[in-house]
Structure 1
Amino acid sequence: MLIGELSRRTGVSERLLRYYEERELIRAERRANGYREYGEEAEQAVRRIRALLAAGLPLRVVRQILPCSSGEAGLRPCPGVLASLHGQLAVLERRAAELDAARRLLRRTIDVTERAADGGAE
């Protein structure tokens, strides 16, 4: 399929598909006229890439994991993948803790401000 068709099927822009190809996440053959020709597997690969990115994985980890993906079943064992996933989970857990602390602080600030506003309105 041509890049436009892959874009329509996946909802991913042609520009982003070219970027994925440049980063060796997907492959395309070149026709004699220079057009990119993607195999049917490219659609599933793009969907996996989008899902992994949505899960918070950086592109370098996605690149490592993608060859290990086995469709809907998840991942098959590949060297280093589990360590990368644990590392990324630790990063996300730290970020979640930081966001939780910021949310608590903001709530306290709102509470104090509302109480001050209620006291000043009397």
Structure 2
Amino acid sequence: MPHTAPTRHLHRPRRTARATLAAALLLGALGWPAWASDRDHERARQAVQDGQVLPLRTVLERLEREQPGQVLEVELEQDDGVWIYEVKLLRTGGQLVKLKLDARTAALLESKARPSSR
């Protein structure tokens, strides 16, 4: 049987290092060791230092005041050169909400809610 090279998914439109960068930011902000690569962690840290991205702690504090709920997941991504925090929240009634925030200003860009399963 001839050896074939494994296929790779090369098409990833305009998004970079989402999951690993998210883990680095969230776990780093909580003081836990990050699972992300050093490169992803460095990119996130540099973006904060350069003023391109607000620190996650700042974003979460604002979010708590404006969009109450339990934060389940946070991702930082770059879409067409714009840094975006994607946040998944669980509201008190069980509603799951996905928010997209401008990572530089924490302004709400998009909100999608899924009805609660109750």
TM-score range, shorter chain: under 0.3
**Higher alpha-carbon Rg:** 1
The TM-score, its normalising length taken from structure 1, stands at 0.27
Higher strand share: 2
The TM-score, its normalising length taken from structure 2, stands at 0.27
Higher helix share: 1
